[in-house]
Structure 1
Amino acid sequence: MTSAPENHEPRPSTAETRAVTRTRRTRRRRAIVATVAGGALVLGGGSAVAVSQAYKTVTLDVDGETRTVGSFAGDVDGLLAAEGVAVTDRDLVTPALGDPLTGGSDVVVRTGKEIDVEIDGEATSTWVTALDAHEALDLLAQRGSDVALVASRSDDRTELGLQVHDGDQVAVVHGGTVDVVDGSDDLDTVLAAAEVEVDDDDNVTVARASDTGVDADSLPDGTDVPQVAVVVERVEVEQVTKVKEIEHETRTKKSDQRYEDLDPKVQREGRPGSRTVVREITTVDGEEVSNKKIASMVTAEPVTEVLVQGTKERPEPEPEPEPETASGSSSESSADSSSTSYSGSNREIGQRMAADRGWTGSQWTCLENLWTKESNWSHTVANPSSGAYGIPQSLPGNKMAAAGADWQTNPATQITWGLDYIAGRYGTPCGAWGHSQANNWY
């Protein structure tokens, strides 16, 4: 009995014939080996082997690239191996790898791709077998209400690993502007079509257009609202340096060499310090989203101010001597220059008038030092800057009119007024002299 003619199968092309010949030769050799090793198995399954080795034509779709191929493979795995299509556990293959291959089958391979996503504000990564971003968003929609695919930057390119929306237009949202371009390409090409340049710091995401606020009002009249939007957020990171003042401290120390009733004396002037603070401020589309301190250092130490507070008690003033009284006349004040005549130098007049008040010894020494410093005992000297006048340097000079109308020319009148001033304000000449030493005025 003759075998059935082989031309019952569809006749392959010349190129396919070569492939068929090689395959048949290989399979014949394998069949021979199988016959020697176990002839009963070959005889029992002869019809199944014939079916599995029959030539068949199938449609192979690998990530959207579709072609018609001829094959003698018995299952899907054999077909993919013959066509050089390597698959992993992350890929999706339909029918399954172990399923038998029949003529007219559609074999679909979708390569798994790892992408970065944000789901309800949480960043993560996941694997998808989608052909484009639109399909990936549909697949991920079940995981959250707010889903976006996050692009990465590599070699000056903005990459997603997927086409944006094959065969459809997409919206590109940037800087308050919405452009509509063809989405049938990778993300970098889509951005270029919208003439959008992206910096390394910028954020680029792909989401449903409805989730990004793109609607008919944001598009030109007559423009269909795309289903997918590419959103570009302009991110600026700036370091801002500020110098803050550090207040100085004040320390007071005690001194028994200074009278306690005097104001504290500044021994060392205080000086504020400075602190330099560097903050990193991040803005997204002009709005501040982060403001963090990255450096803080003292660039100038403050100088503590030192004051000296006296603890020395001031001696009680010596009592004024009782004025001498003349028989049959009213008492006269020894300090009344209008009723007492003085002669000699201004310093000699001052010494006698101070003695009349009981200010001798150390009190006279303090008075002499004080008015030597102020006027060198000149009753006509005037301070051109302040207007102070005379021996006690009264400010203004006409205050001395209280001691006499001749205050401008009479040293005794000036001395009388000066001694009254010292007694009323400081108690004694030494009190006035101590204040003058501490403050350079009395």
Structure 2
Amino acid sequence: MAGGSLAVARAHKTVTLDVDGERVSISTFAGTISGVLESQGLQLAAHDTVAPDPSTGLRDGDEIVVRSGHPVTVLSGGQEQTVWTTALSADEALTSLSARGDDVRLVASRSSAGRADLAMRLDLDGGVDVQVDGGTQHVEDGAVSLDALLASIDVTVGAADRVQVVRSAAGSGAALTVVVQRVVVQATTTVSEIPFETVTEQSADLYKGQSRTSVAGVAGERTLIEQIVTVDGAEESRTPLSDVVTRAPVTAVVQQGTKARPVAVASGGSSVGGDVWAALARCESGGNPLSVSSSGAYYGLYQFSLSTWRAMGGSGLPTEASAEEQTQRAQALQARSGWGQWPACARSLGLL
């Protein structure tokens, strides 16, 4: 019996089990590390670690360290990727990731409740700085979750905001800095004009040198919708969502005359000198081919009414015709109806 009691005593061991920083003392008869884990109901996942190796024989006084693996999002060199870590704190995780460069950042995910979430505490040994809304706040206790840290200083994170954990600058007094960036995503609509084109057509209905617009040009309209992302008030990106022609432009059509102008002959087979017509034009309109009477009823050098102008073969307004055409039609009118068409001026010039 004495020998049996001694064997039992030697089989019994007291070991320390550390699971993610939680340490407990265990009395066990297990012979291996894996036996202790099984007795405690611990099943290792693919990214978990155990030291010593689970197959190692167990001795009294051993310490078994178990670390659970969890994914974290890492931003390095402008690229995000998910990595697995067994670090207990963000400080430890950044230390293990330091080989990636100085600008490595841990990117917080969003919990089901919409809170900024990081699957570890921040700094087990010191305080943490928080950069938000243009200022920096210091929190003495960094051994808390990211969500609890932000809540302790009444920082609310919006749905589009970004939260990252970085190494603090030298001399800042804290190993870590939590950076909260305010992000605004909005759609903007810009309406711009599309110029219309102009085409020219030949028209036998108009005299040479005449033109008129048969189809008025109308500018079109383009509507551009963009998504604009601003970070802490500065524009970060602008992405087109749609770019459509909401109104097509209408092409302007301008007709150019091809018809030869008529040649007027004075009555009686004799021509009237050009100085007489120049004098008549000065009397009627001051010699201005664009003149319009104060009543709006008479036009051009010889103050044609619209009905008389059209009776003499004119089109459009007399003021739209050249001075030569106005004179030709006035000469044709005089040949047909005499100087009485301009009674006051013809009398003053001695033509009546």
Pick the TM interval, shorter chain: 0.7 to 0.9
Given the alignment, which residue of 180, 184, 190 partners 1:242? 190
Match for residue 393 of structure 1 among 284, 303, 318: 303
Q: How far did residue 130 of structure 1 move?
A: 0.5
By how many angstroms is 1:316 displaced? 3.7
1:281-300 Cα distance to aligned partner (Å, 9 max, x none): 11111111101211111112
Contact 1:317/1:427 (8 A) holds in 2: no
Shift of 1:5: 5.9
Gaps of at least 5 residues in structure 1 are 11-50, 217-224, 324-331, 338-352, 354-370, 375-381, 395-421, 434-442
The 8 Å contact of residues 180 and 194 in structure 1, kept in 2 or not, is answered as no
Aligned pair in 2 of structure 1 residues 272, 226: CA closer, same or farther (>3 Å)? same
1:173 to 116, 131, 143: 131
Alpha-carbon distance in 2 for matches of 1:143, 1:115? 15
Q: Distance in 2 between matches of 1:423 and 1:303?
A: 33
**Of 164, 167, 170, the match for 2:122:** 164
Give the conservation status (yes or no) of the 8 Å contact 2:47–2:69: yes
| 1:283 partner letter | T
1:98 equivalent to 2:8? Answer no
Measured at CA, do residues 72 and 311 of structure 1 come closer, stay the same or move farther in structure 2, by a change above 3 Å? same
- Out of 98, 117, 120, the position equivalent to 2:77 is 120
The aligned residue for residue 66 of structure 1 is 23
Asked if residue 230 in structure 1 is aligned to residue 178 in structure 2, the reply is yes
Q: 1:4 maps to which residue?
A: 3
- The answer (yes or no) to whether the contact 1:266–1:307 under 8 Å persists in 2 is yes
Q: Which of 397, 420, 428 is the equivalent residue of 2:328?
A: 428
Q: Quick one: distance in 1 between partners of 2:164 and 2:303?
A: 84
- Which amino acid is 1:393 matched to? Q
Equivalent residue number for residue 440 of structure 1: none
Higher helix share: 1
For the residues of structure 2 that align with 1:4 and 1:307, how far apart are their CA atoms? 122
Q: Which residue does the alignment assign to 1:259?
A: 207
Quick one: distance in 2 between partners of 1:390 and 1:75?
Answer: 118
Tell me how far 1:227 sits from its aligned partner.
0.0
The alpha carbon displacement at 1:207 in A equals 1.1
Q: Distance in 2 between matches of 1:90 and 1:389?
A: 96
Displacement, 1:118? 1.0
CA change 1:268–1:109 in 2 (3 A) is same
Residue among 250, 256, 264 paired with 1:309: 256
The size of the alignment, in residue pairs, is 302
Q: Deviations over 1:310-361 (max 9, x none)?
A: 11112344378557xxxxxxxx979979xxxxxxxxxxxxxxx9xxxxxxxx
Q: Is the 8 A contact 1:9 1:55 kept in 2?
A: yes
- Paired residue secondary structure (1:428): helix
Of 96, 99, 110, which residue of structure 2 is paired with 1:153?
A: 110
Structure 2 match to 1:197: 156
Partner Cα distance (1:303, 1:162) in 2: 64
3-state SS in 2 of match to 1:238: strand
Cα distance in 2 between the residues matched to 1:113 and 1:318: 106
Counterpart of 1:174, as a letter, is: V
Letter in 1 for 2:303: Q
Percent same amino acid among aligned pairs?
A: 36
CA positional deviation for 1:70? 0.5
Q: Return the offset for 1:150.
A: 0.8
Whether the 8 Å CA contact 1:131–1:162 is kept in 2: the answer is yes
SS of equivalent to 1:283: strand
For residue 3 of structure 2, what is the amino acid of its counterpart? A
Q: CA deviation at 1:159?
A: 1.1
RMSD (Å), alpha carbons? 3.3
| Inter-partner Cα distance in structure 2 for 1:134 and 1:333 | 107
Equivalent residue, structure 2, for 1:185: 144
Q: 1: CA distance between counterparts of 2:85 and 2:300?
A: 103
CA-CA distance at 1:145 after TM superposition: 2.5
Question: How far apart are residue 120 of structure 1 and its match?
Answer: 2.3
Q: Does 1:293 align with 2:293?
A: no
For the pair shown, which has the larger CA radius of gyration, 1 or 2? 1
Letter in 2 for 1:311: T
Q: Distance in 2 between matches of 1:88 and 1:423?
A: 100
Task: Name the TM-score, length of structure 2 as normaliser.
Answer: 0.77
In structure 2, relative to structure 1, the CA distance for the partners of 1:72 and 1:317 (3 Å cut) is same
Give the equivalent residue in structure 1 for 2:342: none
* Partner amino acid, structure 2, of 1:298: V
Determine the structure 2 residue equivalent to 1:141: 98
Q: Residue 131 of structure 1 aligns with which residue? A: 88
Match of 1:326 in 2: none
Q: CA separation in 1, counterparts of 2:300 and 2:180?
A: 84
Ranked by relative contact order (alpha carbons within 8 Å, sequence separation 6 or more), the top structure is 2
CA distance in 1, matches of 2:101, 2:53: 30
Deviation at 1:135, TM superposition (A): 0.3
**Aligned residue for 1:33?**
none
Aligned equivalent of 1:107: 64
C-alpha separation in 2, matches of 1:311 and 1:154: 79
CA distance in 2, matches of 1:333, 1:431: 11
